[in-house]
């Protein structure tokens, strides 16, 4: 259980870090979206390949092409969506789509639900709305569609990760398979390329640590979490991102931010803990 909690916590922090790093790079025009995406996946693939080769006697890469396609779709849509979306709107669209995909899959797959899980999910959603709704106006249609596509793709990637038996090797293989697609996008947009040293460093950090190691940790946790618990856990990422903004950019701590954090993190903890209990209990009362 401690290993599961550690892997889940690290993965969620990595997801938040990706949003922060991407916004830092693109909003300050340190790098163009296609270059950021390519450097991100290239550095992630290189880091994961090295770890796989050094560990367990030089094991082979795992993963599969369907998971790689979901990862590639997410990476492209996520990066280009954040060019025009605000942080709050983007996070709400992204994780709203993830929720729909993963919870629907959990219901279809027969995962057990009771009142505690439902209450935790409602509390988390209420906190997310409290945090993000005041900042939402009318997002650009193209960018909003990109982020919805990214959320659906990430939901699919997470669902496929539940079958992973070797998280590190599978994540490395998925990154390696997705890399040619990102390089192709960069080649097609070569005329729009721009990057400075800060942009390259931010993209490399996003790829090697926040993406590569973060996604490997997520694949480690997924087989134990289940679809619904995994979807609920990701609701905490926008709040973590907002808290990171307070620490890194001296943004004020408001009553709304504090209240939303309590609701989202508390509701997520309730839902995930109860889901893990149900997965190990022989009998559970359905909602």
Q: Is 31 helix (H, G, I), strand (E, B) or coil?
A: strand
3-state secondary structure (DSSP) of residue 165: coil
> According to the model, what pLDDT value does residue 285 have?
42
In sign, the C-alpha dihedral spanning 40, 42, 45, 49 is negative
Instruction: Report whether pLDDT(89) > 90.
Output: no
pLDDT category at 116 given cuts 50, 70, 90 is: confident
Mean per-residue pLDDT, 219-228: 81
Q: What b/e sequence results for 208-222 when a residue is b if at least 16 CB atoms lie within 10 Å of its CB, and e otherwise?
A: bbbbbbbbbbbbbbb
Q: What separation, in Å, do the N-terminal and C-terminal C-alpha atoms of the chain show?
A: 26
The pLDDT of residue 200: 95
pLDDT of res. 228 = 72
**Average pLDDT, integer, range 44-51:** 90
Q: Which of 89-98, 129-138, 185-194, 195-204 has the lowest mean pLDDT?
A: 129-138
Q: Supply the pLDDT for residue 164.
A: 83
Asked if residue 185 has pLDDT above 50, the reply is yes
Q: Is 267 helix (H, G, I), strand (E, B) or coil?
A: helix
pTM, to two decimals: 0.79
Cα–Cα distance measured from residue 63 to residue 161, given in angstroms and rounded to the nearest whole number: 9
Burial tier of 115 (Cβ tally within 10 Å: 0-12, 13-18, 19+):
exposed
């Amino acid at each position: 259980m401690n290993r599961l909690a550690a892997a889940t916590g690290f993965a969620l922090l990595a997801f938040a870090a990706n949003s922060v790093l991407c916004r830092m790079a693109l909003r300050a025009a340190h790098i163009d979206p296609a270059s950021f995406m390519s450097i991100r996946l290239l550095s992630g693939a290189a880091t994961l390949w090295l770890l796989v080769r050094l560990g367990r006697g030089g094991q082979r890469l795992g993963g599969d092409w369907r998971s790689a396609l979901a990862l590639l779709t997410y990476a492209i849509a996520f990066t280009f969506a954040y060019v025009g979306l605000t942080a709050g709107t983007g996070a709400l669209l992204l994780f709203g789509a993830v929720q729909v995909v993963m919870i629907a899959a959990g219901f279809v797959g027969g995962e057990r639900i009771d009142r505690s899980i439902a209450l935790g999910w409602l509390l988390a959603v209420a906190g997310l709305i409290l945090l993000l709704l005041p900042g939402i106006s009318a997002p650009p249609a193209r960018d909003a569609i990109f982020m919805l596509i990214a959320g659906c793709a990430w939901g699919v990637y997470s669902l496929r990760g539940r079958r992973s038996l070797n998280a590190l090797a599978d994540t490395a293989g998925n990154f390696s398979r997705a890399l040619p697609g990102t390089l192709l996008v960069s080649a097609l947009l070569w005329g729009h390329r721009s990057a400075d040293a800060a942009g390259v460093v931010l993209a490399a950090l996003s790829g090697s640590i926040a993406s590569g190691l973060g996604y490997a940790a997520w694949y480690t946790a997924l087989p134990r979490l289940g679809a619904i618990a995994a979807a609920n856990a990701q609701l905490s990422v926008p709040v973590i991102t907002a808290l990171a903004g307070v620490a890194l950019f001296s943004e004020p701590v408001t009553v709304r931010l504090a209240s939303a954090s309590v609701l989202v993190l508390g509701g997520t903890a309730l839902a995930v803990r109860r889901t893990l209990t149900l997965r190990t209990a022989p009998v559970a009362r359905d909602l």
